[in-house]
Structures are given as structure tokens and as C-alpha cells.
Amino acid sequence: MTLVEYGDYFYLYVLAIALIPAIIMGLFEKKIKYYGIFLSILMIMAIMGIGKIFPLFLLFEITLIKTYSVLRKKTDNKYLYFLVLLCSMLPVVIFKISAVTIERSIGFIGLSYMNFKAIQMVIEIYDETIKEVSILKTLYFFLFFPTLISGPIDRSRRFESDLDKNISRNEYVNEYLYYGIKCIIRGIVYKFIIASIINSIWMSKIPTHITFINSMNYMYSYSLYLFFDFAGYTAFAVGTSYILGIRMPENFNKPFISKDMKEFWTRWHISLSKWFGDYIYSRFVLNSMRNKRFKSRFVASHVGQLLTMLIMGAWHDLKWYYIIYGLYQGLALVGTDIYQRKSKFYKNHKKEKWFQYAQIVITFHIACFGLLIFSGYLYNK
């Protein structure tokens, strides 16, 4: 029998028992990381089973990262960097292509999120923000089970700084343990109560026959369900991480009160949007400006937004509605930027309360329509 991460109360029961030694170690001011590695291995085996693909992935990526960290000290050759970066991406590329070309995709749950870690480390080794690569710490960074399936997406340097920190008993109890339990309770309320109610009495009752009314109904229900389900998962992941001594970053911050789509992406799936912003958007725009690829930085920014969101859509899957979802989000960001820069009406009223409330309502519907596209409901099978 395999466990489903944060999927039911049985998993939470197993998790509660598994975290007891970590809590005891925290109370006695002992390092939790070695138990964390041991527990992560056990939990991953319980979630995934015993297979060959996952160990091979780990061996491949960690060997690649460690080898490149050694080579980077000797050369900054861009072609070597691009080759290593391409190799680090291969697992997720193969997984995404196989998902649409053969009946059973080649991969494992959580592969995409783990691949983000590998790509991030290769880029930062090239940038020389990562000077040394510890195999043990990198292994734990990849294996850390609370964020296995859907993040949040952590950064290796931040993760390792938590590993090296000495946590006092008082700090562990009042910050780590308290906040961890608080997050887990929030996860139970969000995922197992609110999301479950929305699904059982609302979303699942909507006919699959596509009409305007059914589509609008599904748009609202799915958007709310996805938020509470995903934010609930994130709360479990963050709470478990804190109890294990890792201050995992939050992934949601009241996204449906955003005043525009740029703000929405600073509140929704925060770790994913920051990852794409740092490693795709910012680098594309800076490179474009450096090479004078576009006439203005605004054009470079708009092309970067479209490109970033298209890649994000394709990352979710290569189905057409994910691609359209990415294009839609890119256009929404470009449209927001143009409107805010050029509209006198916006500039004259943006600080007024009534206008801010109107922005929240409009942004909510723009975001929800994007999630309707993302859901695949409009895809008439």
C-alpha cells in the first residue's frame, strides 16, 4: 500500500507519528537534518514505492551538478554551461513529451518540482552564487519529502542556511513548532473541509454539457476549489517543513484580493512565479536589453512576459489548453502593464477606495477565467 502525500487522514496519522522524533530532537536542541534525511527516504519509498527511475534521476542530477561545480572553477565557457543546463532539463522534457506520446509517461510524481531544483542549482553555479556543492546537503535538498509533489519550490542556498542554523529550544517551540502545527491545522480546514465541501456539493454537480451558465458556474467553483485544495496542500508542506527545522516559504497570500494580474502572480503559487521570474523572465529581459534586441525595455518586458507564461503553461503539460492558459496569462500581464502606464483614468483614480474595490472584482474574474481555461472544462471531449 502506497501513501498519498497529504491525500487523506491516514497519511496525516502516519506523518504525526513520523514527526515525533523530530519534535523531541527540536526540544533537546539537536540537529534534525540527519533524521530528516532518513525520514525523507522512508516517506518517499512509501509514497512512490521502490523503483529505478527516481534513484537514477537523483544519481544523474547530483553527479551533473557536482561535476559542473568543479568545472566551473576552471572555466566560464558558455557552451559548456548551456550543455549542462540542457542535460539538467532532460528528465522533465522527456517526461512531458512521453506524457503525450505514449500511454504511460516516463517519470515519477514530483519530477517537475525536483527538476526545478536541479536547473536552479546549475544556473547559480554558473553565476557563482553557489561556490561549493555538498553532496549530502544537495541530496537532502532533493529528497526533502514535505514539498515532493507540488512544492513550494525552495532555493538550495536558503535551504542549506536552515540546515546549518542552531535552533534554541525556545525558538523551536515558539516559532517552528507553533507555526508548523498552525499551518497543518489550516491545511486540514482548507483541503479536507472547505475544498471537499466545494467539490462535493457544488463543482461535482455541474453538468459537463458546456453552456454559458454551466461554464460560469464551473469557473467560480473550480477557482475556489483549486485555491483551497492547493493552498491546503501548501499549508501541510510548510507546516511539516517547519517542524523539521526548515522555514519553507509560503506559496499563497490571499490571491483573490489582488488589484491587478501582476499583483496576483505575487500572491498565487508564489514560489513558482518567482522561479520563472528569476530564471526566465529577468534573464531574458536583461539579455535582450544588453544585446539591443528590442527598441525599448517595455517591448522586451512584454515579450518576456509572454514567453515566460507560455513556458509556464507548457510546463504544466503539453495539452493545448495549458498552452492557451499560458498565452492568456501573458496577455493579461502585458495588458495590465500597458493600461497602468498609459491610462489617465487609472492614474487619476488608483488611490481611491471605490476604484481599488472595482479592481479587485475585475482581477478576480480575469484570474478565474484563466483557471477555467486551465481546468480543461471548455475542452469538449
Compute the Cα dihedral for 290, 294, 296, 299 and give only its sign: negative
Compute the Cα dihedral for 227, 233, 237, 239 and give only its sign: positive
The whole-number pLDDT of residue 136 equals 95
> Of 126, 121, 190, nearest to 158 (Cα)?
121
The whole-number pLDDT of residue 105 equals 57
Burial of 10 (0-12, 13-18, 19+ CB in 10 A): exposed
Q: Catalytic: which of 209, 269, 316, 365?
A: 316
Is 269 part of the annotated catalytic residue set? Answer: no
Q: Enumerate the domain spans of the chain.
A: 30-163, 169-243, 255-375
The whole-number pLDDT of residue 110 equals 82
pLDDT below 70 — which residues of the chain?
A: 1, 99-107, 380-381
**pTM, 2 dp:** 0.94
The whole-number pLDDT of residue 96 equals 80
What does the mean pLDDT of the chain come to? 94
The whole-number pLDDT of residue 104 equals 54
The whole-number pLDDT of residue 1 equals 59
What cell does 284 get? Answer: 531574458
d(Cα 374, Cα 219) in Å, to the nearest integer? 10
Q: HEC states along the chain?
A: CCCCCCCCHHHHHHHHHHHHHHHHHHHCCCCCHHHHHHHHHHHHHHHHCCCCHHHHHHHHHHHHHHHHHHHHCCCCCHHHHHHHHHHHHHHHHHHHHHHHHCCCCCCCCCHHHHHHHHHHHHHHHHHCCCCCCCHHHHHHHHHCHHHCCCCCCCCHHHHHHHHCCCCCHHHHHHHHHHHHHHHHHHHHHHHHHHHHHHHHHCHHHCCCCCCHHHHHHHHHHHHHHHHHHHHHHHHHHHHHHHHCCCCCCCCCCCHHHCCCHHHHCCCCCHHHHHHHHHHHHHHHHHHHHHCCCCCCHHHHHHHHHHHHHHHHHHHHCCCHHHHHHHHHHHHHHHHHHHHHHHCHHHHHHCCCHHHHHHHHHHHHHHHHHHHHHHHCCCCCC
Query: In this predicted model, what pLDDT tens digit does every residue of 208-234 receive, in sequence order?
Result: 999 999 999 999 999 999 999 999 999
The whole-number pLDDT of residue 178 equals 98
